[in-house]
Amino acid sequence: MMSRENKFETDAIRTQMERSEFLEHSTPLHLTSSFVFEDAEDMRASFAEEKERNIYSRFTNPNTSEFVDKMCKLEGAESGYAFATGMAAVFSTFAALLNAGDHIVSARSIFGSTHTLFTKFLPKWNIETSYFKVGEVDNIESLIQSNTKILYVESPTNPAVDILDLEELGQIAKKHNLIFIIDNCFATPYLQNPIKFGADLVIHSATKLIDGQGRVLGGATVGRADLIREIYLFSRNTGPALSPFNAWILSKSLETLGVRVDRHCENALKVAEFLETHSKVALVKYPFLKSHPQYALAKKQMKQGGNVVAFEVKGGIDAGRQFLNHLKMLSLSANLGDTRSIATHPASTTHSKLSEADRLETGISDGLVRISVGLEHVDDIIADLKQALAYV
Ligand SMILES: *Cc1c(COP(=O)(O)O)cnc(C)c1O
């Protein structure tokens, strides 16, 4: 036994399920839909939750539990549950915790599908959402109603990489007895641990940097044990569970999260610095660039700036399209956090369902390009950006 708490990298590697009789070194994959009981009494006691054991893989499975245990350690959370996708985590969390007639206060800048959930589906159950702009945290208290239950944010935001003050938000949530939930997808547990700043629950799309290799979908919600218990009960009966195979992949992926994200961030900063000096680029947003409006805040709550760089090409939408059409190596794809660098045009893709007014309020101009900086050699990434910018 080590006497001190392990560092991040060590927990990411050494948090592992109990070894089987084969004494395997690496975690084995348990592809089984159900588990057997010793006898009728074991079966009764297991269903009565008098013992902690696997019953059916829609509830728990050794591989999903290992992934969840690791995510909890890395986020400093009491408990958690793993989901088939990031959106399954988002939806199940809201569905489990809210009643008809409850109210959400959310930052305006949130993932496109989460925005659709708030505007199109939750209103079916009479659950409404009020929004504040990233720069207007002062406004939050005026939006809180007697039926407000949840304060919801992302930081850094997608795609404009704005930063919200998590400590301040945590204090507001505490004062008004709101459940403070943050989607920590862009930062990963390696760069930012929102629970330290007062978050009650942290949601992840594990599809992104956690898998990091563009292979599988997954998600997790971790945080306060009493809230996770509700989320678990909802999920075990409605079926958004992560598959054991994907959990096995994601748990292996966490072993290398630290070294991968270090290089992602190093490359992203170099890309951002290159773009900032380019004559055809109107604006660059990257949390660890000194020119970022919340640079000091980013430094305070994040270890590094992440792998997403947002920028605007001079000349608006046509120039942006010219640029994207001339990229030779970077992929045009909707994913992010892959080893492969990816360019997207949020206004016509991920955020196309938003009205133009909502888009502009979220910092998504028509010419905004989002780059998920990958792990190719940074000289090659910059060379591709440079040759494509020549066509603008
Ligand atoms: C991708 C993403 C999600 C949704 O995750 P899926 O795994 O694609 O369902 C949620 N939030 C953010 C910030 C994302 O980038």
Average pLDDT over residues 302-326: 93
Kindly list the domain boundaries of the chain, sorted by start residue: 8-30+61-254, 258-389
Query: How confident is the prediction for the chain on average, in pLDDT?
Result: 94
- Choosing from 106, 108, 207, 215 the residue with most ligand 1 atoms within 8 A of its CB, the one to mutate for a pocket test is 207
State pTM to two decimals: 0.95
* Residue 18 pLDDT greater than 70, yes or no: yes
Place of tokens 């898998």: 211
pLDDT reported for residue 291: 96
- Residue range 323-356, pLDDT digits in tens: 999 999 999 998 899 999 999 988 777 777 777 7
**Atom 8 in ligand 1: residue holding the nearest Cα:** 86
**Atom 11 in ligand 1: residue holding the nearest Cα:** 111
- Choosing from 93, 185, 209 the residue with most ligand 1 atoms within 8 A of its CB, the one to mutate for a pocket test is 185
CA 258 / ligand 1 centre spacing (Å) = 20
Tokens of 57: 């893989």
Contact predicate 389/276, CB 8 Å: no
Residue 391, CB-side half-sphere exposure with 13 Å CA sphere: 15
What ligand 1 atom has the least distance to the C-alpha of 335? 1
8-30+61-254 CATH pick, 3.40.640.10, 1.10.10.10, 3.40.50.720, 3.40.50.800: 3.40.640.10
**Atom 7 in ligand 1: residue holding the nearest Cα:** 86
CA 203 / ligand 1 centre spacing (Å) = 9
| Cα 281 to Cα 291: distance, rounded to the nearest angstrom | 14
Q: Given pLDDT bands bounded at 50, 70 and 90, which one contains residue 357?
A: confident
Q: Higher confidence at residue 253 or residue 349?
A: 253
**Atom 5 in ligand 1: residue holding the nearest Cα:** 86
Contact predicate 156/187, CB 8 Å: yes
Q: Given pLDDT bands bounded at 50, 70 and 90, which one contains residue 2?
A: very low
- Residue range 256-297, pLDDT digits in tens: 999 999 999 999 999 999 999 999 999 999 999 999 999 999
Q: How far is CA 229 from CA 159, 221, 222, 292, 296, in A?
A: 32, 11, 11, 39, 36
**Atom 1 in ligand 1: residue holding the nearest Cα:** 205
* Residue 1 pLDDT greater than 60, yes or no: no
Amino acid letter, residue 230: E
CA 382 / ligand 1 centre spacing (Å) = 26
pLDDT reported for residue 4: 63
Burial of 166 (0-12, 13-18, 19+ CB in 10 A): buried
Q: Given pLDDT bands bounded at 50, 70 and 90, which one contains residue 210?
A: very high
| Cα 358 to Cα 151: distance, rounded to the nearest angstrom | 19
What ligand 1 atom has the least distance to the C-alpha of 90? 10
* Residue 67 pLDDT greater than 60, yes or no: yes
Q: Which of 160, 161, 197, 162 is nearest to 182 (CA)?
A: 197
- Residue range 144-174, pLDDT digits in tens: 999 999 999 999 998 889 999 999 999 999 9
Average pLDDT over residues 116-122: 97
| Cα 75 to Cα 264: distance, rounded to the nearest angstrom | 20
pLDDT reported for residue 61: 97
Percent residues over pLDDT 90 in the chain = 86
Contact predicate 165/297, CB 8 Å: yes
Least confident of 35-39, 58-62, 65-69, 320-324: 320-324
- Look up the CATH architecture of domain 258-389: Alpha-Beta Complex (3.90)
